[in-house]
A and B are shown apart, each in its own frame.
Chain A
Amino acid sequence: QLSTALSNCFKCDLHRLEEGPPVKAELTREQGLQYYRTMQTVRRMELKADQLYKQKIIRGFCHLYDGQEACAAGIEAAINPSDHLITAYRAHGYTYTRGVSVKEILAELTGRRGGVAKGKGGSMHMYAPHFYGGNGIVGAQVPLGAGIALACQYQGNNQVCVTLYGDGAANQGQLFESYNMAALWKLPCIFICENNKYGMGTSVERAAASTDYYKRGDFIPGLRVDGMDVLCVREAAQFAADHCRAGKGPIIMELQTYRYHGHSMSDPGVSYRTREEIQEVRSKSDPISMLKERMLSHNMASVEEFKEIDIEIRKQVEDATQFATSDPEPPLEELCNHIFSNNP
């Protein structure tokens, strides 16, 4: 189908950068439908997880990603499967974009042997080739990400490492240690702060002396873009990846985004923000609606096509749920498996 150049004059704040990503983005029909499909799948998967949690079929801690889909979809669109990615515990979306099926994700949430981590990790610990999780301790994944970037540099494979963290983690000391090492050694590390405005129940103003997270790397160049627009995310991530691959060292990206759910399933999410605020974001900035409307208004796809995709995704998620609720739990031997390399 036709490829359409969209004038996409989005706001992009720069720090120590002469110029930022292009203000125009191209979107082909295929790309648009793919991004839509990805985001809608993540959305429906997260909503299904919510449902299963309330039915107590999923237990433990569960941090949902709905609202932030454009970040995962946009980043994946900009990088290669051979690049690396690591994030914190709000990880189901990235697990999907990095290639794990909805079936394996839901089965991991329900703790079954068909889960991506054999049912041993749960919500916060999902992994895939070149996707390092899934990390429970806030901020602990960032030095790891810098280390992965070092490995890329050392092996000279032209790969980059996308290291994600949230606005809460941005105040952890180990991030600054990572920034320093990455800048000193010019590591191909894209630090990305998904700023969803709340670290659990604490708004960013109450937690950070500076909420310009894209500047917090000080000597590391940074950019801040709208994380609800999948094209903005993609262009910015592409720009960042090019920067790193050119050997210019690390870069920080701040994605301004929003989560509809509370911090986790134990948090209703309305004691520290108003329902009006959540509703406003849903109606004005929902990433999936924004993409759909953009494509419809440019005649890149029809309403029926989107409906069909929705129906397909619904079925996919239902099938995955069926598997996740019927697959058996891991065998008891797994309790003591994989502690060391070769079980003594």
Chain B
Amino acid sequence: ALIYLLKYPYLACLRPTQKMNLFQSITSALDNTLASDPTAVIFGEDVAFGGVFRCTVGLRDKYGKDRVFNTPLCEQGIVGFGIGVAVAGATAIAEIQFADYIFPAFDQIVNEAAKYRYRSGNMFDCGNLTIRAPWGCVGHGSLYHSQSPEAFFAHCPGLKVVIPRSPIQAKGLLLSCIADKNPCIFFEPKILYRAAVEQVPEDPYTIPLSQAEVLQEGSDVTLVAWGTQIHVLKEVASMAQEKLGVSCEVIDLQTILPWDIETVCKSVVKTGRLLISHEAPVTGGFASEISSTVQEECFLNLEAPISRVCGYDTPFPHIFEPFYIPDKWKCFEAIKKMINY
């Protein structure tokens, strides 16, 4: 219990916690927000009845239909509208039903939301905007219910992109995004909505953005991921220890943009080897950015080329999902190669 408290200082006061899964922790964060911020509104497709993933259950009844309301089916409209709400001074929390559907809104996010402060010389901004979307593979999602589009948005200065790995992280990070004075995109790993369960504090707390978290320390290889893939890497770290005697340091990046370069580089300086893993296709995936920066900063510390274990360069497949995803075996093989380099 002590280790738990040291690891999560924000729990140090032993506040009342409740067993929550990922979608419940999201609901809790949204509930806290609506309670404390009278300008906060939540909108998107089907959020009124609770949302297709149950993230907004009970909120409309509790806070009223002018604060939790449905939009018609129009992603570009949802985000554009959200930007307007935010610019006018209210806290706008927009839901895009699946990250795969965010592309009609891409122009609004990249050209409007991200650049508002810059182009107005700080006179206006839409920092009050947070966009939430379910993200990542789910076992049967196929081409349009499985995508991880964080790389598209990482290429856009002015935005923040955040991805939690668990309920405790999700609530804290989401509350940080909502409080953050920049437009934030919060991707929620849909496969974890029910599967991930933790004791989550009922009252609000924040986890800092742009700070990566070292989940376990190690000396031989640094493993970096975010969201669902962290759980894969934790298993890989155990496998590496058990079968190869290799000690892995596992880092959850948490914030994709702006990312915590310092923590990752500090780790690579120590271990000399880096493996980055994500579901999104490898070419242009965010691992390429991390790899590029790390080789710039830590070139002389590297014992082996940086390894990226990612999805293949194909659309997210229908029947081939188990072969497509960067599973623990692929990651394990990559570690073996790096160790034997």
Chain A interface category by residue count = 35 or more
A201 touches B49 (CB 8 A): yes
A60 touches B144 (CB 8 A): no
Q: In the complex, what residues of A have CB within 8 A of residue B49's CB?
A: 201, 271-272
Given A120-B318, A169-B73: A61 and B46 interface contact (C-beta under 8 Å): no
Q: In the complex, what residues of A have CB within 8 A of residue B39's CB?
A: none
B140 at the A/B interface (Cβ < 8 Å)?
yes
- Interface window among B245-253, B263-271, B319-327: B319-327
A268 at the A/B interface (Cβ < 8 Å)?
no
Which residue of the partner chain, among A124, A168, A272, A339, contacts B73 with CB atoms under 8 Å?
A168
Which residue of the partner chain, among A330, A334, A335, contacts B312 with CB atoms under 8 Å?
A335
How far is it, in angstroms, between the C-alpha of A277 and the C-alpha of B320 when the chains are bound?
40
Which residue of the partner chain, among B70, B73, B100, B320, contacts A172 with CB atoms under 8 Å?
B73
Given A137-B101, A330-B319: A335 and B324 interface contact (C-beta under 8 Å): yes
A171 at the A/B interface (Cβ < 8 Å)?
yes
Q: In the complex, what residues of A have CB within 8 A of residue B217's CB?
A: none
Q: In the complex, what residues of B have CB within 8 A of residue A172's CB?
A: 73-74, 104
What number of residue pairs across chains A and B have CB atoms under 8 A from each other? 87
Q: In the complex, what residues of B have CB within 8 A of residue A335's CB?
A: 312, 314, 317, 320, 323-324
A111 touches B319 (CB 8 A): yes
Q: In the complex, what residues of B have CB within 8 A of residue A206's CB?
A: 70
A138 at the A/B interface (Cβ < 8 Å)?
yes
Which residue of the partner chain, among B70, B101, B142, contacts A60 with CB atoms under 8 Å?
B142
Q: Distance in Å from the Cβ of A304 to the closest Cβ of chain B?
A: 42
Q: In the complex, what residues of B have CB within 8 A of residue A6's CB?
A: none
Q: In the complex, what residues of B have CB within 8 A of residue A48's CB?
A: none
Given A173-B76, A335-B323: A124 and B140 interface contact (C-beta under 8 Å): no
Q: Which of B70, B73, B324 has the most CB of A within 10 A?
A: B73
A173 touches B72 (CB 8 A): no
Given A59-B140, A124-B144, A137-B144: A173 and B314 interface contact (C-beta under 8 Å): no
Q: Which of B73, B319, B324 has the most CB of A within 10 A?
A: B319
Q: Which of B72, B100, B313, B323 has the most CB of A within 10 A?
A: B72
How far is it, in angstroms, between the C-alpha of A233 and the C-alpha of B285 when the chains are bound?
48
B314 touches A336 (CB 8 A): yes
Given A171-B73, A172-B74, A173-B104: A125 and B319 interface contact (C-beta under 8 Å): no
Nearest CB in chain B to that of A208: its residue = B72
A60 touches B104 (CB 8 A): no
A332 at the A/B interface (Cβ < 8 Å)?
yes
B145 touches A61 (CB 8 A): yes
Q: In the complex, what residues of A have CB within 8 A of residue B141's CB?
A: 60-61
How far is it, in angstroms, between the C-alpha of A120 and the C-alpha of B321 when the chains are bound?
11
B208 at the A/B interface (Cβ < 8 Å)?
no
A120 touches B317 (CB 8 A): yes
How far is it, in angstroms, between the C-alpha of A111 and the C-alpha of B320 when the chains are bound?
9
A136 touches B144 (CB 8 A): yes
A302 at the A/B interface (Cβ < 8 Å)?
no
Which residues 172-212 in B have Cβ within 8 Å of A in the complex?
Answer: none
B314 touches A339 (CB 8 A): yes
A31 at the A/B interface (Cβ < 8 Å)?
no
A121 touches B318 (CB 8 A): yes
A122 at the A/B interface (Cβ < 8 Å)?
yes
B339 at the A/B interface (Cβ < 8 Å)?
no
A119 touches B145 (CB 8 A): no
Nearest CB in chain A to that of B324: its residue = A335
- Mark B70-104 against chain A: 1 for CB-CB distance below 8 A, else 0: 10111011000000000000000000000011011
A61 touches B72 (CB 8 A): no
Which residue of the partner chain, among A122, A171, A174, A339, contacts B313 with CB atoms under 8 Å?
A339
- Mark A147-176 against chain B: 1 for CB-CB distance below 8 A, else 0: 000000000000000000000110111100
Could you give 25 example pairs across A and B, Cβ below 8 Å? A60-B142, A60-B145, A60-B318, A61-B140, A61-B142, A111-B319, A120-B318, A124-B143, A125-B143, A136-B100, A136-B143, A138-B73, A172-B104, A173-B77, A199-B72, A199-B73, A201-B46, A201-B49, A202-B72, A207-B70, A207-B73, A330-B319, A336-B314, A339-B313, A339-B314
Q: Please give 12 more A-B residue pairs, beta carbons under 8 A apart, in addition to A173-B76, A202-B46.
A: A60-B140, A60-B142, A60-B318, A111-B318, A121-B318, A122-B142, A122-B143, A136-B100, A136-B143, A202-B45, A208-B72, A339-B315
